[in-house]
Structure 1
């Protein structure tokens, strides 16, 4: 199955930047690109509650022109790219989540036309990042150009979710021909003397971090023997803060859906949520392919 890279496009600057990232991702993967516009009924919903009264809304000619214009611009930049466009009756979030069942990757912008400018990530991006059935690339901040030579950064904490993120991160770094940086965020060092038992616990924690990074590095190198892999333990007040600060020198941050300390009932852990809201580069949320 030749799964496409899918991107939601509504004509907003954020979605057009997302389409550019999606085109590059499709090009690197030799996959087709699908531009999707989820459109709503004039009263604000998808299919009307009573279709006998109003009928299923027809695709918008204006939206179709926007999609075709975007597709033409992308194929001008990537001539080998196969681009399809589709309008789907339904909300953009639900539409992209449904498309994710058949996609290699779903790409969303930080805010669409319906987004509030004060929000760092719109509701559509948050929905898709939490519920998609394949990896999700959240493109933010949308005002910066696409970085091409900075490393791919992955947070490592020993969880199954982080292990999946390491695999995706290694694949992505190999595709982009950039280094992979594996980082583990530990608590800040104590500036004052501490009791012996605390010092022993800190030493055990440091040893655990070294082991986690070494294991992750070994798996990445086994999958991609020519990949440059760096281990980078850092100290910060929290895992989210550490990853967000480190993302300033990365082209991509890859996070799992939930870390080792995450609550099983949450679809997206607090660290992942903070990353997609505040990272200084695009964020790949490592959902497994279904």
Structure 2
């Protein structure tokens, strides 16, 4: 197996979405002077009937062709980037999770060749984002189909440990991209009250001093570490997913923790990260907590 330690890893499956992910991954690897590792993961035969040798050969030929196509796309996108290839005999999710143990970032298309028509995001992207050991970028486009190639980096901040990790990743991305960072914090997450009856009185909005404090404490020290990054703070009494989805329409990347302070214990992905993976208007980078 080719060593993917510290590399940007991109999943390849022959789909247009995967090719977009390869382009994004090549740009990321080139900016950071990191290697790009392309992986085509699929069992040799994913059918239950006996298969002929010719079918085995066709599968292997297809995998080799798609890896070569992806490598050409990567080098055309970012000349000079170091590209390695891997043909994994595992199914995609276990293969990518294994690579995430030593990769810098996993990059996937929003939906792959194996997805069902009408699905907003593929099951592989959701499963890997929920369980990977490193950040996972899922490459989404604008509603009009155009790539999100401009705008700030947006990060969701809620004061949780996972949010702190997301903030660190977001500052790093904004610095490498040379763009502003928009830190988004929800004043009141009405999801906390979703199990209550409609007659339950919502708390009246106050001065917002507590929410200002949460955001200020979360941001403390980061401006000194990244003096080149211009910061914009957005605080509102709304659902985090609503604010972040709105901001994603003008951003080039949204960074979010896999599960924030409002999630239920045991859930690998919270409602906010799920909503962004399905509906964001730009790529989404999901950051999981440290084990």
Name the TM tier (shorter chain): 0.7 to 0.9
Which residue number corresponds to residue 51 of structure 1?
none
Unaligned runs of 5+ in 2: 190-201
CA distance in 2, matches of 1:74, 1:239: 34
> Do residues 210 (structure 1) and 212 (structure 2) align?
yes
Equivalence map 1:167-186=2 (5 Å)? 167-186=168-187
Task: Indicate how the Cα distance of structure 1 residues 17 and 198 shifts in structure 2: closer, same or farther if over 3 A, else same.
Answer: closer
Q: 8 Å contact 2:259–2:288 — kept in the other structure?
A: no
Which residue number corresponds to residue 253 of structure 1?
254
**TM-score, length basis structure 2:** 0.85
Which residue number corresponds to residue 272 of structure 1?
273
Equivalence map 1:124-273=2 (5 Å)? 124-141=124-141, 144-187=145-188, 198-199=203-204, 202-203=205-206, 206-236=208-238, 238-273=239-274
Deviation at 1:208, TM superposition (A): 1.5
Q: 8 Å contact 1:15–1:112 — kept in the other structure?
A: yes
Which residue number corresponds to residue 12 of structure 2?
9
Deviation at 1:2, TM superposition (A): 5.1
Which residue number corresponds to residue 103 of structure 1?
103
Q: 8 Å contact 1:184–1:233 — kept in the other structure?
A: yes
Which residue number corresponds to residue 70 of structure 1?
70
Q: 8 Å contact 2:7–2:105 — kept in the other structure?
A: yes
CA distance in 2, matches of 1:130, 1:77: 29
> Do residues 80 (structure 1) and 80 (structure 2) align?
yes
Deviation at 1:211, TM superposition (A): 1.2
- Count residues with an aligned counterpart: 271
CA distance in 2, matches of 1:186, 1:85: 46
> Do residues 41 (structure 1) and 41 (structure 2) align?
no
Which residue number corresponds to residue 18 of structure 1?
21
Deviations 1:152-189 (A, max 9, x none): 0011111111111111000000000000000112349x
CA distance in 1, matches of 2:118, 2:82: 36
Q: 8 Å contact 1:18–1:108 — kept in the other structure?
A: yes
Q: 8 Å contact 1:8–1:19 — kept in the other structure?
A: yes
Aligned structure 1 segments of 4 or more residues deviating by more than 4 angstroms: none
Equivalence map 1:113-124=2 (5 Å)? 113-124=113-124
Deviation at 1:289, TM superposition (A): 7.0
Unaligned runs of 5+ in 1: 49-53, 189-196
CA distance in 2, matches of 1:183, 1:211: 13
Q: 8 Å contact 1:185–1:234 — kept in the other structure?
A: yes
CA distance in 1, matches of 2:152, 2:247: 11
Which residue number corresponds to residue 28 of structure 1?
31
Deviation at 1:73, TM superposition (A): 2.6
CA distance in 2, matches of 1:260, 1:154: 15
Q: 8 Å contact 1:134–1:289 — kept in the other structure?
A: no
Greater CA drift, 106-115 or 178-187? 178-187
Secondary structure of 2:214's counterpart equals helix
CA distance in 1, matches of 2:125, 2:174: 24
